[in-house]
Protein backbone atom coordinates (compact mmCIF):
# COMPACT_ATOMS: atom_id res chain seq x y z
CA UNK A 1 0.00 0.00 0.00
CA UNK A 2 1.56 3.21 -1.10
CA UNK A 3 -0.32 5.62 1.14
CA UNK A 4 1.50 8.57 2.61
CA UNK A 5 0.64 8.32 6.27
CA UNK A 6 1.10 10.63 9.21
CA UNK A 7 4.34 8.88 10.09
CA UNK A 8 5.95 9.65 6.71
CA UNK A 9 8.18 12.70 6.47
CA UNK A 10 6.34 15.58 4.82
CA UNK A 11 8.38 18.74 4.37
CA UNK A 12 6.81 19.84 1.09
CA UNK A 13 5.30 23.29 1.57
CA UNK A 14 2.12 24.50 -0.03
CA UNK A 15 2.46 26.93 -2.94
CA UNK A 16 1.94 30.61 -2.08
CA UNK A 17 -0.13 31.61 -5.08
CA UNK A 18 -3.26 33.24 -3.67
CA UNK A 19 -4.01 36.98 -3.46
CA UNK A 20 -6.72 39.01 -1.67
CA UNK A 21 -9.26 38.28 -4.44
CA UNK A 22 -8.84 34.53 -3.90
CA UNK A 23 -9.30 34.98 -0.15
CA UNK A 24 -12.47 36.97 -0.86
CA UNK A 25 -13.76 34.28 -3.23
CA UNK A 26 -12.97 31.49 -0.78
CA UNK A 27 -14.96 33.16 2.01
CA UNK A 28 -17.90 34.35 -0.09
CA UNK A 29 -18.11 30.98 -1.88
CA UNK A 30 -18.93 29.05 1.27
CA UNK A 31 -21.18 31.71 2.76
CA UNK A 32 -23.25 32.98 -0.16
CA UNK A 33 -25.74 30.14 0.25
CA UNK A 34 -26.76 31.90 3.48
CA UNK A 35 -28.55 34.48 1.30
CA UNK A 36 -30.35 31.75 -0.63
CA UNK A 37 -31.72 29.85 2.36
CA UNK A 38 -31.65 29.78 6.15
CA UNK A 39 -31.33 33.52 6.94
CA UNK A 40 -35.11 33.83 6.61
CA UNK A 41 -35.66 31.71 9.76
CA UNK A 42 -34.57 34.94 11.53
CA UNK A 43 -37.78 36.47 10.13
CA UNK A 44 -39.72 33.57 11.67
CA UNK A 45 -38.11 34.13 15.08
CA UNK A 46 -38.66 37.89 15.28
CA UNK A 47 -40.36 39.37 12.21
CA UNK A 48 -39.02 41.23 9.17
CA UNK A 49 -37.45 44.23 10.93
CA UNK A 50 -35.86 41.93 13.54
CA UNK A 51 -34.11 40.00 10.76
CA UNK A 52 -32.61 43.22 9.38
CA UNK A 53 -31.37 44.32 12.82
CA UNK A 54 -29.94 40.81 13.35
CA UNK A 55 -28.25 41.01 9.94
CA UNK A 56 -26.40 44.20 10.93
CA UNK A 57 -25.47 43.08 14.45
CA UNK A 58 -24.27 39.75 13.08
CA UNK A 59 -22.22 41.81 10.60
CA UNK A 60 -20.63 43.59 13.57
CA UNK A 61 -19.93 40.23 15.24
CA UNK A 62 -18.20 38.95 12.11
CA UNK A 63 -16.21 42.18 11.68
CA UNK A 64 -14.78 41.54 15.17
CA UNK A 65 -14.12 37.91 14.16
CA UNK A 66 -12.27 39.08 11.04
CA UNK A 67 -10.16 41.67 12.91
CA UNK A 68 -9.14 39.27 15.67
CA UNK A 69 -8.64 36.31 13.38
CA UNK A 70 -6.56 38.32 10.91
CA UNK A 71 -4.03 39.32 13.59
CA UNK A 72 -3.56 35.77 14.87
CA UNK A 73 -3.61 34.18 11.41
CA UNK A 74 -1.13 36.66 9.95
CA UNK A 75 1.26 35.43 12.67
CA UNK A 76 0.27 31.72 12.76
CA UNK A 77 0.42 31.52 8.97
CA UNK A 78 -0.05 27.75 8.79
CA UNK A 79 -2.75 25.52 7.35
CA UNK A 80 -5.45 24.50 9.81
CA UNK A 81 -6.70 27.98 10.70
CA UNK A 82 -8.17 28.29 14.19
CA UNK A 83 -7.23 24.69 15.04
CA UNK A 84 -3.53 25.48 14.63
CA UNK A 85 -3.95 28.77 16.52
CA UNK A 86 -5.53 26.95 19.48
CA UNK A 87 -2.68 24.41 19.60
CA UNK A 88 -0.08 27.16 19.92
CA UNK A 89 -1.92 29.60 22.17
CA UNK A 90 -4.26 27.69 24.53
CA UNK A 91 -3.46 23.99 24.40
CA UNK A 92 -4.27 20.58 22.87
CA UNK A 93 -7.75 20.13 24.42
CA UNK A 94 -8.88 23.53 23.11
CA UNK A 95 -7.45 22.63 19.70
CA UNK A 96 -9.33 19.32 19.74
CA UNK A 97 -12.58 21.18 20.49
CA UNK A 98 -11.92 23.84 17.84
CA UNK A 99 -11.23 21.08 15.31
CA UNK A 100 -14.58 19.49 16.16
CA UNK A 101 -16.35 22.89 15.92
CA UNK A 102 -14.99 23.26 12.40
CA UNK A 103 -15.92 19.71 11.38
CA UNK A 104 -19.47 19.89 12.74
CA UNK A 105 -20.16 23.47 11.58
CA UNK A 106 -19.11 22.56 8.04
CA UNK A 107 -20.61 19.05 7.94
CA UNK A 108 -23.98 20.32 9.18
CA UNK A 109 -23.82 23.19 6.67
CA UNK A 110 -23.13 20.59 3.97
CA UNK A 111 -26.19 18.59 5.16
CA UNK A 112 -28.32 21.77 5.09
CA UNK A 113 -27.17 22.42 1.52
CA UNK A 114 -28.11 18.90 0.46
CA UNK A 115 -31.57 19.27 2.06
CA UNK A 116 -32.05 22.50 0.09
CA UNK A 117 -31.12 20.77 -3.17
CA UNK A 118 -33.82 18.16 -2.50
CA UNK A 119 -36.35 20.82 -1.55
CA UNK A 120 -35.59 22.87 -4.67
CA UNK A 121 -36.07 19.82 -6.90
CA UNK A 122 -39.41 19.19 -5.20
CA UNK A 123 -40.49 22.81 -5.81
CA UNK A 124 -39.46 22.66 -9.48
CA UNK A 125 -41.31 19.34 -9.87
CA UNK A 126 -44.47 20.86 -8.37
CA UNK A 127 -44.28 23.86 -10.72
CA UNK A 128 -44.05 21.49 -13.68
CA UNK A 129 -47.00 19.39 -12.50
CA UNK A 130 -45.18 16.51 -10.76
CA UNK A 131 -46.41 16.39 -7.16
CA UNK A 132 -44.73 14.45 -4.35
CA UNK A 133 -41.36 13.41 -5.78
CA UNK A 134 -38.89 11.64 -3.48
CA UNK A 135 -36.18 14.17 -2.48
CA UNK A 136 -33.77 11.58 -1.06
CA UNK A 137 -32.03 10.57 -4.32
CA UNK A 138 -31.18 14.24 -5.05
CA UNK A 139 -29.76 14.68 -1.54
CA UNK A 140 -27.65 11.52 -1.77
CA UNK A 141 -26.47 12.26 -5.32
CA UNK A 142 -25.36 15.83 -4.52
CA UNK A 143 -23.34 14.76 -1.47
CA UNK A 144 -21.78 11.79 -3.27
CA UNK A 145 -20.91 13.82 -6.38
CA UNK A 146 -19.20 16.57 -4.38
CA UNK A 147 -17.35 14.05 -2.21
CA UNK A 148 -16.08 12.38 -5.39
CA UNK A 149 -14.97 15.77 -6.75
CA UNK A 150 -13.08 16.48 -3.50
CA UNK A 151 -11.57 13.00 -3.56
CA UNK A 152 -10.19 13.64 -7.04
CA UNK A 153 -8.29 16.85 -6.22
CA UNK A 154 -8.41 20.34 -4.82
CA UNK A 155 -7.77 22.33 -8.02
CA UNK A 156 -10.81 21.04 -9.89
CA UNK A 157 -12.87 21.50 -6.74
CA UNK A 158 -11.88 25.15 -6.26
CA UNK A 159 -12.32 26.00 -9.95
CA UNK A 160 -15.79 24.44 -9.93
CA UNK A 161 -16.72 26.44 -6.82
CA UNK A 162 -15.46 29.78 -8.18
CA UNK A 163 -17.49 29.53 -11.38
CA UNK A 164 -20.78 28.58 -9.74
CA UNK A 165 -20.33 31.11 -6.91
CA UNK A 166 -19.87 33.93 -9.44
CA UNK A 167 -23.08 32.83 -11.16
CA UNK A 168 -25.03 32.67 -7.88
CA UNK A 169 -23.81 36.13 -6.77
CA UNK A 170 -24.72 37.67 -10.13
CA UNK A 171 -28.20 36.14 -9.86
CA UNK A 172 -28.84 37.95 -6.52
CA UNK A 173 -27.76 41.29 -8.01
CA UNK A 174 -29.91 40.77 -11.13
CA UNK A 175 -32.95 39.86 -9.02
CA UNK A 176 -32.56 43.14 -7.11
CA UNK A 177 -32.00 45.23 -10.24
CA UNK A 178 -34.87 43.77 -12.25
CA UNK A 179 -37.44 43.62 -9.46
CA UNK A 180 -36.67 46.96 -7.79
CA UNK A 181 -34.86 49.39 -10.10
CA UNK A 182 -35.08 48.43 -13.79
CA UNK A 183 -38.78 47.72 -13.87
CA UNK A 184 -41.63 50.08 -14.68
CA UNK A 185 -44.25 48.50 -12.43
CA UNK A 186 -42.32 47.18 -9.42
CA UNK A 187 -43.88 44.14 -7.69
CA UNK A 188 -42.48 45.36 -4.33
CA UNK A 189 -45.16 45.95 -1.67
CA UNK A 190 -43.21 46.87 1.47
CA UNK A 191 -45.86 49.26 2.83
CA UNK A 192 -48.59 46.61 2.72
CA UNK A 193 -46.50 43.57 3.78
CA UNK A 194 -44.36 44.95 6.59
CA UNK A 195 -45.77 44.56 10.09
CA UNK A 196 -44.76 45.55 13.62
CA UNK A 197 -42.42 43.30 15.59
CA UNK A 198 -44.60 40.20 16.28
CA UNK A 199 -42.65 39.26 19.43
CA UNK A 200 -41.54 42.76 20.44
CA UNK A 201 -37.85 43.39 21.21
CA UNK A 202 -37.45 39.88 22.62
CA UNK A 203 -37.98 38.67 19.05
CA UNK A 204 -35.13 40.92 17.87
CA UNK A 205 -32.82 39.20 20.34
CA UNK A 206 -34.16 35.77 19.31
CA UNK A 207 -33.54 36.45 15.62
CA UNK A 208 -29.77 36.85 16.25
CA UNK A 209 -29.76 33.03 16.25
CA UNK A 210 -30.32 32.78 12.50
CA UNK A 211 -28.73 36.20 11.85
CA UNK A 212 -25.39 34.39 12.00
CA UNK A 213 -26.42 32.37 8.96
CA UNK A 214 -25.87 35.42 6.71
CA UNK A 215 -22.10 35.10 7.28
CA UNK A 216 -21.37 31.70 8.86
CA UNK A 217 -18.18 30.22 7.41
CA UNK A 218 -16.41 33.48 6.38
CA UNK A 219 -13.76 32.68 8.99
CA UNK A 220 -12.79 29.74 6.74
CA UNK A 221 -10.55 32.18 4.84
CA UNK A 222 -7.85 31.52 7.44
CA UNK A 223 -7.61 27.92 6.21
CA UNK A 224 -5.68 29.34 3.23
CA UNK A 225 -3.06 31.10 5.36
CA UNK A 226 -0.24 28.90 4.09
CA UNK A 227 -1.15 29.42 0.45
CA UNK A 228 -1.47 33.23 0.43
CA UNK A 229 1.35 35.32 -1.05
CA UNK A 230 1.18 38.08 1.56
CA UNK A 231 -0.89 36.94 4.56
CA UNK A 232 -0.44 40.24 6.42
CA UNK A 233 -2.15 42.17 3.61
CA UNK A 234 -4.32 39.61 1.84
CA UNK A 235 -6.05 37.94 4.78
CA UNK A 236 -7.48 41.04 6.52
CA UNK A 237 -8.26 42.73 3.20
CA UNK A 238 -9.88 39.67 1.60
CA UNK A 239 -11.86 38.71 4.71
CA UNK A 240 -13.15 42.21 5.49
CA UNK A 241 -14.02 42.76 1.79
CA UNK A 242 -15.90 39.44 1.94
CA UNK A 243 -17.90 40.57 4.97
CA UNK A 244 -18.76 43.87 3.28
CA UNK A 245 -19.88 42.00 0.16
CA UNK A 246 -22.06 39.71 2.22
CA UNK A 247 -23.47 42.61 4.23
CA UNK A 248 -24.58 44.28 0.99
CA UNK A 249 -25.90 41.01 -0.50
CA UNK A 250 -27.76 40.20 2.74
CA UNK A 251 -29.40 43.64 2.91
CA UNK A 252 -30.47 43.41 -0.76
CA UNK A 253 -31.82 39.89 -0.19
CA UNK A 254 -33.78 41.05 2.86
CA UNK A 255 -35.17 44.07 0.98
CA UNK A 256 -36.38 42.02 -2.01
CA UNK A 257 -37.86 39.15 0.03
CA UNK A 258 -39.79 41.18 2.62
CA UNK A 259 -41.24 43.33 -0.17
CA UNK A 260 -42.57 40.31 -2.01
CA UNK A 261 -44.04 37.89 0.54
CA UNK A 262 -45.80 37.90 3.95
CA UNK A 263 -43.34 37.50 6.84
CA UNK A 264 -45.13 34.37 8.14
CA UNK A 265 -44.41 32.57 4.84
CA UNK A 266 -40.90 33.97 4.52
CA UNK A 267 -40.07 32.88 8.09
CA UNK A 268 -40.43 29.19 7.22
CA UNK A 269 -39.60 29.11 3.47
CA UNK A 270 -37.09 26.52 2.26
CA UNK A 271 -35.86 28.49 -0.79
CA UNK A 272 -36.81 32.16 -0.18
CA UNK A 273 -34.90 33.76 -3.06
CA UNK A 274 -36.40 31.29 -5.52
CA UNK A 275 -39.84 32.13 -4.08
CA UNK A 276 -39.06 35.86 -4.46
CA UNK A 277 -38.18 35.31 -8.13
CA UNK A 278 -41.47 33.42 -8.62
CA UNK A 279 -43.36 36.38 -7.13
CA UNK A 280 -41.50 38.91 -9.28
CA UNK A 281 -43.63 37.73 -12.20
CA UNK A 282 -40.62 37.11 -14.47
CA UNK A 283 -40.07 33.59 -15.78
CA UNK A 284 -36.43 34.18 -16.68
CA UNK A 285 -35.70 35.54 -13.18
CA UNK A 286 -37.35 32.44 -11.71
CA UNK A 287 -35.15 30.14 -13.82
CA UNK A 288 -32.06 32.24 -13.00
CA UNK A 289 -32.68 32.13 -9.24
CA UNK A 290 -33.55 28.43 -9.39
CA UNK A 291 -30.17 27.72 -10.98
CA UNK A 292 -28.57 30.25 -8.60
CA UNK A 293 -29.98 28.40 -5.58
CA UNK A 294 -28.72 25.08 -6.91
CA UNK A 295 -25.26 26.52 -7.64
CA UNK A 296 -24.98 28.35 -4.29
CA UNK A 297 -25.83 25.19 -2.36
CA UNK A 298 -23.42 23.06 -4.39
CA UNK A 299 -20.59 25.63 -4.08
CA UNK A 300 -21.11 25.86 -0.34
CA UNK A 301 -21.35 22.10 0.17
CA UNK A 302 -18.22 21.69 -1.92
CA UNK A 303 -16.26 24.12 0.25
CA UNK A 304 -17.66 22.50 3.39
CA UNK A 305 -16.45 19.02 2.38
CA UNK A 306 -13.04 20.53 1.63
CA UNK A 307 -12.72 22.33 4.99
CA UNK A 308 -14.30 19.68 7.23
CA UNK A 309 -12.19 16.87 5.78
CA UNK A 310 -8.99 18.90 6.23
CA UNK A 311 -9.80 19.64 9.87
CA UNK A 312 -10.54 15.93 10.49
CA UNK A 313 -7.35 14.99 8.61
CA UNK A 314 -5.26 17.46 10.66
CA UNK A 315 -6.56 15.98 13.92
CA UNK A 316 -5.72 12.49 12.67
CA UNK A 317 -2.21 13.61 11.68
CA UNK A 318 -1.67 15.03 15.18
CA UNK A 319 -3.08 11.81 16.76
CA UNK A 320 -5.98 13.74 18.35
CA UNK A 321 -8.03 11.21 16.38
CA UNK A 322 -6.88 7.78 15.16
CA UNK A 323 -3.82 8.22 12.94
CA UNK A 324 -5.58 6.26 10.18
CA UNK A 325 -7.33 9.51 9.17
CA UNK A 326 -3.98 11.24 8.62
CA UNK A 327 -3.44 9.52 5.27
CA UNK A 328 -3.05 11.33 1.93
CA UNK A 329 -4.15 9.72 -1.33
CA UNK A 330 -1.03 8.56 -3.22
CA UNK A 331 -2.26 9.87 -6.57
CA UNK A 332 -4.69 12.74 -5.91
CA UNK A 333 -2.89 14.07 -2.78
CA UNK A 334 -6.18 14.57 -0.93
CA UNK A 335 -7.19 13.48 2.62
CA UNK A 336 -9.37 10.78 1.05
CA UNK A 337 -10.17 8.76 4.18
CA UNK A 338 -11.48 11.83 5.98
CA UNK A 339 -13.52 12.84 2.93
CA UNK A 340 -15.16 9.39 2.71
CA UNK A 341 -15.67 9.06 6.48
CA UNK A 342 -17.65 12.32 6.75
CA UNK A 343 -20.02 11.44 3.86
CA UNK A 344 -22.36 9.12 5.85
CA UNK A 345 -22.44 11.57 8.78
CA UNK A 346 -23.63 14.37 6.47
CA UNK A 347 -26.18 12.01 4.91
CA UNK A 348 -27.59 10.84 8.27
CA UNK A 349 -28.52 14.43 9.10
CA UNK A 350 -29.51 15.47 5.58
CA UNK A 351 -31.94 12.55 5.30
CA UNK A 352 -33.25 12.47 8.85
CA UNK A 353 -33.37 15.94 10.41
CA UNK A 354 -35.41 19.09 9.60
CA UNK A 355 -33.56 21.99 7.94
CA UNK A 356 -33.88 24.45 10.85
CA UNK A 357 -32.45 21.85 13.28
CA UNK A 358 -29.50 21.06 11.03
CA UNK A 359 -28.80 24.79 10.60
CA UNK A 360 -29.01 25.25 14.38
CA UNK A 361 -26.40 22.51 14.91
CA UNK A 362 -24.13 24.25 12.41
CA UNK A 363 -24.68 27.69 13.96
CA UNK A 364 -24.00 26.37 17.47
CA UNK A 365 -20.67 24.86 16.47
CA UNK A 366 -19.78 28.13 14.72
CA UNK A 367 -20.84 30.13 17.77
CA UNK A 368 -18.63 28.05 20.07
CA UNK A 369 -15.77 28.79 17.69
CA UNK A 370 -16.44 32.55 17.87
CA UNK A 371 -16.48 32.36 21.68
CA UNK A 372 -13.03 30.79 21.53
CA UNK A 373 -11.63 33.72 19.51
CA UNK A 374 -11.71 36.50 22.16
CA UNK A 375 -10.18 34.10 24.73
CA UNK A 376 -7.58 33.21 22.11
CA UNK A 377 -6.55 36.77 21.23
CA UNK A 378 -6.43 37.93 24.88
CA UNK A 379 -4.12 35.02 25.76
CA UNK A 380 -2.11 35.62 22.57
CA UNK A 381 -1.40 39.25 23.55
CA UNK A 382 -0.66 38.19 27.15
CA UNK A 383 1.74 35.35 26.29
CA UNK A 384 3.43 37.20 23.41
CA UNK A 385 3.06 41.00 23.84
CA UNK A 386 3.44 43.16 20.71
CA UNK A 387 7.18 43.70 21.21
CA UNK A 388 8.02 39.97 21.46
CA UNK A 389 6.95 38.64 18.06
CA UNK A 390 6.23 40.47 14.82
CA UNK A 391 2.62 40.39 13.67
CA UNK A 392 1.72 40.68 10.00
CA UNK A 393 -1.33 42.65 11.10
CA UNK A 394 -2.21 44.23 14.46
CA UNK A 395 -5.91 44.71 15.02
CA UNK A 396 -6.76 48.14 16.49
CA UNK A 397 -8.47 49.06 19.78
CA UNK A 398 -7.59 45.83 21.61
CA UNK A 399 -9.39 44.59 23.75
CA UNK A 400 -12.54 46.38 22.51
CA UNK A 401 -13.21 43.98 19.57
CA UNK A 402 -12.72 40.98 21.91
CA UNK A 403 -15.17 42.41 24.47
CA UNK A 404 -17.69 43.29 21.73
CA UNK A 405 -17.38 39.79 20.27
CA UNK A 406 -17.91 37.97 23.56
CA UNK A 407 -20.90 40.23 24.34
CA UNK A 408 -22.52 39.50 20.96
CA UNK A 409 -21.79 35.76 21.41
CA UNK A 410 -23.56 35.87 24.79
CA UNK A 411 -26.58 37.54 23.18
CA UNK A 412 -26.61 34.85 20.49
CA UNK A 413 -26.50 32.01 23.06
CA UNK A 414 -29.58 33.58 24.63
CA UNK A 415 -31.15 33.87 21.16
CA UNK A 416 -30.60 30.14 20.51
CA UNK A 417 -31.92 29.38 24.00
CA UNK A 418 -35.20 31.08 22.99
CA UNK A 419 -36.88 28.27 21.03
CA UNK A 420 -33.95 25.85 20.67
CA UNK A 421 -32.71 25.51 24.26
CA UNK A 422 -32.75 21.69 24.22
CA UNK A 423 -30.37 21.53 21.26
CA UNK A 424 -28.10 24.06 22.94
CA UNK A 425 -27.80 22.02 26.14
CA UNK A 426 -27.46 18.73 24.19
CA UNK A 427 -24.65 20.10 22.05
CA UNK A 428 -22.68 21.64 24.93
CA UNK A 429 -23.11 18.36 26.85
CA UNK A 430 -21.62 16.55 23.86
CA UNK A 431 -18.57 18.82 23.87
CA UNK A 432 -18.14 18.39 27.64
CA UNK A 433 -18.20 14.57 27.33
CA UNK A 434 -15.79 14.46 24.36
CA UNK A 435 -13.46 16.91 26.13
CA UNK A 436 -13.25 14.56 29.12
CA UNK A 437 -12.77 11.62 26.74
CA UNK A 438 -9.90 13.47 25.06
CA UNK A 439 -8.17 14.65 28.22
CA UNK A 440 -8.38 11.38 30.15
CA UNK A 441 -8.00 8.92 27.27
CA UNK A 442 -7.04 10.18 23.83
CA UNK A 443 -4.33 12.66 24.86
CA UNK A 444 -2.00 9.81 25.82
CA UNK A 445 -1.41 9.13 22.10
CA UNK A 446 -0.29 12.74 21.40
CA UNK A 447 3.38 13.70 21.13
CA UNK A 448 3.78 16.69 23.43
CA UNK A 449 6.46 18.95 21.89
CA UNK A 450 5.23 18.28 18.34
CA UNK A 451 2.19 20.43 19.12
CA UNK A 452 4.29 23.60 19.04
CA UNK A 453 5.91 24.23 15.66
CA UNK A 454 6.03 28.04 15.35
CA UNK A 455 9.47 29.73 15.70
CA UNK A 456 8.33 31.81 18.67
CA UNK A 457 10.03 32.43 22.02
CA UNK A 458 8.79 30.77 25.17
CA UNK A 459 5.38 32.20 26.15
CA UNK A 460 5.34 34.55 29.14
CA UNK A 461 4.20 32.92 32.38
CA UNK A 462 5.25 29.40 31.33
CA UNK B 1 11.65 17.27 31.10
CA UNK B 2 12.05 13.77 29.66
CA UNK B 3 10.57 13.40 26.21
CA UNK B 4 7.18 11.70 26.37
CA UNK B 5 6.86 8.65 24.10
CA UNK B 6 3.20 7.94 23.38
CA UNK B 7 2.04 4.31 23.21
CA UNK B 8 1.21 2.90 19.77
CA UNK B 9 -2.50 2.35 19.36
CA UNK B 10 -3.73 -0.91 17.84
CA UNK B 11 -6.07 -0.97 14.81
CA UNK B 12 -8.91 -2.26 17.00
CA UNK B 13 -8.27 0.53 19.52
CA UNK B 14 -8.46 3.11 16.72
CA UNK B 15 -11.74 1.63 15.49
CA UNK B 16 -13.23 1.69 18.98
CA UNK B 17 -12.25 5.37 19.37
CA UNK B 18 -13.95 6.26 16.09
CA UNK B 19 -17.12 4.34 17.05
CA UNK B 20 -17.24 6.06 20.46
CA UNK B 21 -16.94 9.49 18.82
CA UNK B 22 -19.61 8.64 16.25
CA UNK B 23 -22.06 7.41 18.89
CA UNK B 24 -21.49 10.50 21.02
CA UNK B 25 -21.89 12.92 18.10
CA UNK B 26 -24.93 11.34 16.49
CA UNK B 27 -26.50 10.60 19.88
CA UNK B 28 -26.10 14.15 21.20
CA UNK B 29 -27.52 15.69 18.06
CA UNK B 30 -30.28 13.14 17.41
CA UNK B 31 -31.57 12.40 20.94
CA UNK B 32 -33.47 15.73 21.19
CA UNK B 33 -35.07 14.95 17.80
CA UNK B 34 -36.01 11.39 18.76
CA UNK B 35 -37.45 12.55 22.08
CA UNK B 36 -39.51 15.23 20.36
CA UNK B 37 -37.80 17.95 22.39
CA UNK B 38 -36.28 19.81 19.48
CA UNK B 39 -37.91 22.78 17.79
CA UNK B 40 -41.29 21.98 19.33
CA UNK B 41 -41.78 25.45 20.76
CA UNK B 42 -43.27 26.84 17.54
CA UNK B 43 -46.90 25.77 17.50
CA UNK B 44 -49.87 26.88 15.38
CA UNK B 45 -53.10 28.17 16.91
CA UNK B 46 -55.88 26.27 15.06
CA UNK B 47 -58.96 28.24 13.95
CA UNK B 48 -62.30 26.76 12.92
CA UNK B 49 -63.15 27.83 9.37
CA UNK B 50 -60.45 30.49 9.11
CA UNK B 51 -60.81 33.38 6.68
CA UNK B 52 -58.10 35.73 5.40
CA UNK B 53 -59.63 38.46 7.58
CA UNK B 54 -59.62 36.31 10.73
CA UNK B 55 -56.00 35.49 10.00
CA UNK B 56 -55.17 39.22 9.86
CA UNK B 57 -54.22 39.30 6.18
CA UNK B 58 -54.79 42.45 4.05
CA UNK B 59 -55.63 42.28 0.29
CA UNK B 60 -51.95 42.54 -0.77
CA UNK B 61 -50.98 39.68 1.56
CA UNK B 62 -53.88 37.58 0.22
CA UNK B 63 -52.70 38.25 -3.33
CA UNK B 64 -49.20 37.08 -2.39
CA UNK B 65 -50.51 33.94 -0.66
CA UNK B 66 -52.49 33.15 -3.80
CA UNK B 67 -49.38 33.59 -5.97
CA UNK B 68 -47.53 31.25 -3.63
CA UNK B 69 -50.18 28.58 -4.23
CA UNK B 70 -52.29 29.07 -1.07
CA UNK B 71 -55.74 29.88 -2.42
CA UNK B 72 -57.55 28.45 0.60
CA UNK B 73 -56.98 30.30 3.93
CA UNK B 74 -57.29 26.98 5.78
CA UNK B 75 -54.15 25.74 4.00
CA UNK B 76 -52.16 28.79 5.15
CA UNK B 77 -53.69 28.95 8.63
CA UNK B 78 -51.02 26.87 10.41
CA UNK B 79 -48.18 28.85 8.83
CA UNK B 80 -49.75 32.21 9.71
CA UNK B 81 -50.74 31.39 13.29
CA UNK B 82 -47.63 29.42 14.33
CA UNK B 83 -45.64 31.26 17.00
CA UNK B 84 -42.60 30.48 19.14
CA UNK B 85 -43.14 30.27 22.87
CA UNK B 86 -40.40 32.44 24.33
CA UNK B 87 -41.46 32.00 27.93
CA UNK B 88 -38.71 30.45 30.04
CA UNK B 89 -37.94 29.79 33.67
CA UNK B 90 -35.10 31.48 35.51
CA UNK B 91 -33.88 28.01 36.48
CA UNK B 92 -33.44 26.89 32.86
CA UNK B 93 -31.65 30.16 32.00
CA UNK B 94 -29.28 29.71 34.95
CA UNK B 95 -28.70 26.09 33.88
CA UNK B 96 -27.74 27.25 30.38
CA UNK B 97 -25.31 29.88 31.72
CA UNK B 98 -23.73 27.37 34.15
CA UNK B 99 -23.33 24.73 31.41
CA UNK B 100 -21.73 27.12 28.89
CA UNK B 101 -19.46 28.95 31.35
CA UNK B 102 -18.58 25.67 33.08
CA UNK B 103 -17.66 24.11 29.74
CA UNK B 104 -15.27 26.91 28.79
CA UNK B 105 -13.72 27.14 32.27
CA UNK B 106 -13.15 23.37 32.35
CA UNK B 107 -11.69 23.37 28.85
CA UNK B 108 -9.30 26.30 29.41
CA UNK B 109 -8.05 24.78 32.70
CA UNK B 110 -7.50 21.27 31.33
CA UNK B 111 -5.94 22.74 28.17
CA UNK B 112 -3.57 24.80 30.27
CA UNK B 113 -2.45 21.67 32.13
CA UNK B 114 -1.67 19.96 28.82
CA UNK B 115 -0.10 23.14 27.39
CA UNK B 116 2.39 23.33 30.26
CA UNK B 117 3.61 19.83 29.33
CA UNK B 118 3.97 20.89 25.69
CA UNK B 119 5.93 24.05 26.57
CA UNK B 120 8.07 22.25 29.10
CA UNK B 121 9.05 19.56 26.57
CA UNK B 122 9.54 22.08 23.75
CA UNK B 123 11.57 24.71 25.63
CA UNK B 124 12.89 22.65 28.54
CA UNK B 125 12.23 23.04 32.26
CA UNK B 126 12.89 26.42 33.85
Ranges of each domain in chain A = 20-450
Exposed e or buried b for every residue in B19-55, given b needs 16+ CB within 10 A? eebeebbbebbbebbeeeebbebbeeeeeeebebeeb
Interface check for B77 against chain A (CB to CB < 8 A): the answer is no
Residue A55: is its pLDDT beyond 50? yes
* Chain A residues closer than 8 Å to B52 by CB: none
Phi, psi (degrees; rounded to nearest 5) at A83:
-60, -45
- In this structure, CATH architecture of domain A20-450: Up-down Bundle (1.20)
Report if residue B109 sits inside a domain: yes
Report if residue B32 sits inside a domain: no
Test mutation, B20, B114, B116, B123, chain A, max A CBs within 10 A: B114
Interface check for B117 against chain A (CB to CB < 8 A): the answer is yes
Gap from A374 CA to chain B (nearest CA, Å): 12
Determine, for residues A458 and B119 on separate chains, whether the beta-carbon distance falls below 8 Å: yes
Gap from A334 CA to chain B (nearest CA, Å): 20
Weakest-pLDDT range from A107-111, A161-165, A213-217 = A161-165
pLDDT, position A166 = 85
Report if residue B116 sits inside a domain: yes
Residue B101: is its pLDDT beyond 60? yes
Test mutation, B78, B94, B118, B125, chain A, max A CBs within 10 A: B118
Report if residue B75 sits inside a domain: no
CA A202, A208, A214: angle at the middle one, nearest 5?
150
Interface check for A93 against chain B (CB to CB < 8 A): the answer is yes
pLDDT tens for each residue of B12-41? 999 999 899 888 888 877 777 777 666 546
Gap from B33 CA to chain A (nearest CA, Å): 8
Tell me how many domains chain B contains: 1
Residue A343: is its pLDDT beyond 90? yes
* Chain A residues closer than 8 Å to B30 by CB: 352-353
Report if residue B49 sits inside a domain: no
| Residues contacting B90, CB < 8 A, separation 6+ | none
Q: ipTM value of the model?
A: 0.89
pLDDT tens for each residue of A165-206? 889 989 999 999 998 887 778 889 999 999 999 999 999 999
Range of the domain at B106: 88-126
Yes or no: say if A370 and A405 are a contact pair by the CB < 8 Å rule: yes
Element (H, E) at B84: strand B83-84
CA A278, A284, A289: angle at the middle one, nearest 5?
60
Q: How far is CA A189 from CA A90, A171, A255, A257, B24, in A?
A: 52, 21, 10, 10, 48
Question: How distant is the alpha carbon of residue A187 from its chain centre?
Answer: 33
Interface check for A443 against chain B (CB to CB < 8 A): the answer is yes
Determine, for residues A319 and B99 on separate chains, whether the beta-carbon distance falls below 8 Å: no
Rounded-to-integer distance, Cα A161 and Cα A172, Å: 17
Determine, for residues A437 and B24 on separate chains, whether the beta-carbon distance falls below 8 Å: yes
Amino acid sequence: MANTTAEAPEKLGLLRVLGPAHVWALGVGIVLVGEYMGWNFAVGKGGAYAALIACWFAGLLYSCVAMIDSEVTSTVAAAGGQYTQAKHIIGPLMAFNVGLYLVFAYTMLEAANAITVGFLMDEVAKLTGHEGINQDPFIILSVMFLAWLNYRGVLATLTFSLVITAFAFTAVILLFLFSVILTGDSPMRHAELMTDLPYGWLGVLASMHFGLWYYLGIEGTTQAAEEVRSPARSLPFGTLAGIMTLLIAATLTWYVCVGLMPWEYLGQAGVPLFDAARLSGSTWLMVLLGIGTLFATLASANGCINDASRAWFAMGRDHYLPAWFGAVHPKYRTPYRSIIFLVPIALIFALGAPLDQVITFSILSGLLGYTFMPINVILFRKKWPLDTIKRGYEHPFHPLPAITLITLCSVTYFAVFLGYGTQLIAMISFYIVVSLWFHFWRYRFVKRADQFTMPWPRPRGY
Amino acid sequence: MARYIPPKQSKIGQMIDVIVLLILAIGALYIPLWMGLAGSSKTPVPQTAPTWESLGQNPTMVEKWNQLGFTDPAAASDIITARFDYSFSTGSLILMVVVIVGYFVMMVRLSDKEYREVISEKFGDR
